Amino acid sequence: MSLYSQRGVSAQKEEVHKATEKLDKGLYPFAFCKIYPDHLTGDKDWVNLMHADGAGTKSILAYLYWKETGDLSVWKGIARDAIVMNLDDLLCVGIHDNLLFSSTIDRNKRLVPGEVLEMVINGTQEFFDELKQFGVNIHYLGGETADVGDVVRTIAVNGTMAARWPKNKLVTNERIKAGDVIVGFASAGQTKYEQEYNSGIASNGLTSARHDVLSKFYAENFKESYETSLSDDVVYIGPHRLLDHITVGHQQMEIGKLLLSPTRSYAPLLKVLLQEQFEAVHGLVHCSGGGQTKCMKYLPGDFRIVKDDLFEAPVIFNIIQKASGSDLREMYQVFNMGHRLEVFTEEGAAGAMIDAAKVLGIEAKIVGRVEAGKKKELVLKVNGQEIVY
């Protein structure tokens, strides 16, 4: 059993999928988000979507960093994480404007004071103000903030995003076909709209990252930060403190800041692609939970996906792998490992997409292709290894 499973979490969410397998799949079963008819107005040419997600256990990392340094600004990053994990999913069905957002914040008031709530809430509005500059308008409708110390150890930051959208402007992944190439857009680096280097960690696999990278110091001093019934063998088993430094390119960065890099949104890029190259976009996948295997769930037929020119894994993933001893198979199905957005398109259209990303400071390239197959299959070629899922 993997360390990930021993900690009570699953990269593939098998039990969640089993619990929801009998639910209606919506109008387009291969679309990245569930899409329903426009029940609000009855207009057959429009659809409704509502999506819920959050920052997950990344909020525990923010808690630890804040307690150790007193730096409240990390909570603004958690606000962004909760937003982007909703927004970039909806972007992957073609929605890029006029969205509604409601936040849900559950906290242990004894440990998490009002000043933290202020940072999360104000950070939410600040991020929406930034996105507005790129033509992505999100309306903040408030939400629910609950003091539920019996339920959460520290704080959970989540949100719900909703939209109404025309059917003829949806990306449903039904157009993915053999012969398509996959353009990957990097998760790490620094875009024109980011204030500092982004490690690429996003908001998936943070339970693994936290326990594998950080040391027993945190188990001994912050017992509220983990499930105390877990075996000591899987709790904070790493070599690092949050304030340890490591070289990234030509700069020194804290381990804590690398783990807490806010999830990059591809909204400014997808706004451009969906307006200027909509017909060329055959499919969109957000490589979130499930990492590089995420695309398997959204294929509209029996295809063989081959990814044989992936990005070099960013530093943060090398740190995690070295600390955990995980093999590449597990790393690539837990983490994005270098790119978090995939566009399925014809090869002739890929160049313009890559150029659009370059304008915004996002590295992009063709990372793979779609082949005809007898079943749904994914082949990753990494560091001389071939990994088949």
* pLDDT mean across residues, the chain: 95
Examine residue 341 and state whether it is found in any structural domain, yes or no: yes
269 pLDDT band, cuts 50/70/90, is very high
Examine residue 216 and state whether it is found in any structural domain, yes or no: no
Examine residue 279 and state whether it is found in any structural domain, yes or no: yes
pLDDT for res 217: 98
Examine residue 204 and state whether it is found in any structural domain, yes or no: no
Segment 17-31, tens digit of pLDDT: 576 667 788 999 999
Say if residues 274 and 341 touch (Cβ distance below 8 Å).
no
pLDDT for res 14: 64
CA distance 367 to 385: 16
Segment 37-82, tens digit of pLDDT: 999 899 999 999 999 999 999 999 999 999 999 999 999 999 999 9
Examine residue 206 and state whether it is found in any structural domain, yes or no: no
Domain tally, the chain: 1
- pTM here is 0.94
Element (H, E) at 125: helix 114-132
Examine residue 380 and state whether it is found in any structural domain, yes or no: yes
For residue 26, give its domain range: 3-196+260-388
Examine residue 326 and state whether it is found in any structural domain, yes or no: yes
CATH of the domain at 384: 3.30.1330.10
Examine residue 318 and state whether it is found in any structural domain, yes or no: yes
CA distance 88 to 93: 9
pLDDT for res 17: 55
Say if residues 75 and 62 touch (Cβ distance below 8 Å).
yes
pLDDT for res 249: 87
Residues whose CB falls within 8 Å of the CB of residue 183, separated by 6 or more in sequence, listed in order: 342, 343, 345, 350, 353, 354, 364, 365, 366, 367
Mean pLDDT of 283-300: 97
Segment 136-148, tens digit of pLDDT: 999 999 999 999 9
